[in-house]
A and B are shown apart, each in its own frame.
Chain A
Amino acid sequence: MSEVVEKEIRPENVRVIRLGHGANCSSIGSVVDTLFVSAVVGGAVIAAVLAALKKEAIAAEAPKPPDPTEEGTKLRD
């Protein structure tokens, strides 16, 4: 039967205690909610840009006028 050695955690064993959201946890689970908020904020920026865009200019090509030099050449022929 294995013995479980319990070590007491004393103040000198603690290097740093972080405060705030997801503090003292290096797991991805502690920042997944922040990640989701980042995705939503990024989506909001994209949505704002798309909604605020102007109409696109219609780029229709006008028919080319007949080239007078070509006409002249044809007439000469």
Chain B
Amino acid sequence: MTIVLLALAALSLITGIARAQAPPPSFFAGRSNGELRDLASDRHNDVLLRRSAATRLVMGLADAGDFEAAEAAAREFAHNIDPQAIKHVRAVRRRGHVHVAAVGALGVALGFLVTSLVARRRSIMGALPTVRRIAPIVVFFFGYAGAVGGYLATTYENGSANPFLLFAAAMIPFAMILRVWSAVGSPHLAARAFRGVAAVAATLAVGFLVVEQVNPRFLEGFGL
């Protein structure tokens, strides 16, 4: 037993595991990708230092949008990297696809909305009483969601109410404009269904873009 322990101790000293210590985050602050690559590649460095450097390199490349380089670096340092870094690359790539889809959906919906309102601009003033009638419901719903959700979000560690408040602030006028659209638009079933689908797509897009800009940590739980 003693011999085994001595052998393990000698092995730890030889491989550097015995001296390994994860460096603090400030150690990596301001370092370029080249420096991180050198730290991760240098066999004389501690195993944890190399692991942290490789992880930061891969995550940094993914955050910068260079997914090919991030995946290449992940393969290069696959023997000593935090598995979370590889998951992070996939998540950021997926988030990029969803971002493009969200911007596209919002653009298409707003395009149809603006075109319809411009074509029937003479009827817009007549639709204002209709908007006035639904305004209290809209303000109450989004105000409630923004205020209560924002309050709950602030009650835990680094939580922020901003995603809830910004979503509510964006949706209140948007919902009013949607009602103007439905009031001046075609009453046919197909047109109403299209407006409904466009409204859903635009709202989901607004929610995603708000949370992506304000607090992307909300997206991590959904694999984005």
Of the listed residues A45, A48, A54, the one surrounded by the most CB atoms of chain B closer than 10 A to its CB is: A48
A51:B159 contact, CB within 8 angstroms: no
Interface of chain B: mostly helix, strand, loop or mixed: helix
B155:A44 contact, CB within 8 angstroms: no
Q: Is B114 an interface residue (CB 8 A)?
A: no
- Write the nearest CB–CB distance from B83 to chain A, whole angstroms: 18
CB-nearest residue of chain A relative to B219? A33
CB-nearest residue of chain A relative to B193? A52
Of the listed residues A37, A39, A43, A44, the one surrounded by the most CB atoms of chain B closer than 10 A to its CB is: A43
- List chain B residues, Cβ under 8 A from A52: 182, 192-193, 195-196, 199
- List chain A residues, Cβ under 8 A from B146: 39
A40:B203 contact, CB within 8 angstroms: yes
Cα separation A54 to B192 with both chains bound (whole Å): 8
Give the tally of cross-chain contacts (CB within 8 A): 116
A43:B149 contact, CB within 8 angstroms: no
B218:A36 contact, CB within 8 angstroms: yes
- List chain B residues, Cβ under 8 A from A35: 149, 152-153
Q: Is A28 an interface residue (CB 8 A)?
A: yes
B156:A50 contact, CB within 8 angstroms: no
B163:A36 contact, CB within 8 angstroms: yes
Q: Is A1 an interface residue (CB 8 A)?
A: no
- List chain A residues, Cβ under 8 A from B28: none
Within 8 A of B (CB), among A16-75: 21-22, 27-29, 32-37, 39-40, 42-56
Of B14-22, B67-75, B87-95, B173-181, the one with at least 4 CB within 8 A of chain A: B173-181
- Write the nearest CB–CB distance from A66 to chain B, whole angstroms: 31
- List chain A residues, Cβ under 8 A from B218: 32-33, 36
6 A-B interface contacts by CB (under 8 A) = A43-B207, A48-B199, A49-B196, A51-B179, A55-B182, A55-B183
The 9 A-B pairs of least Cβ separation, nearest first, read: A40-B207, A29-B156, A51-B199, A52-B196, A51-B195, A47-B199, A44-B203, A48-B196, A33-B218
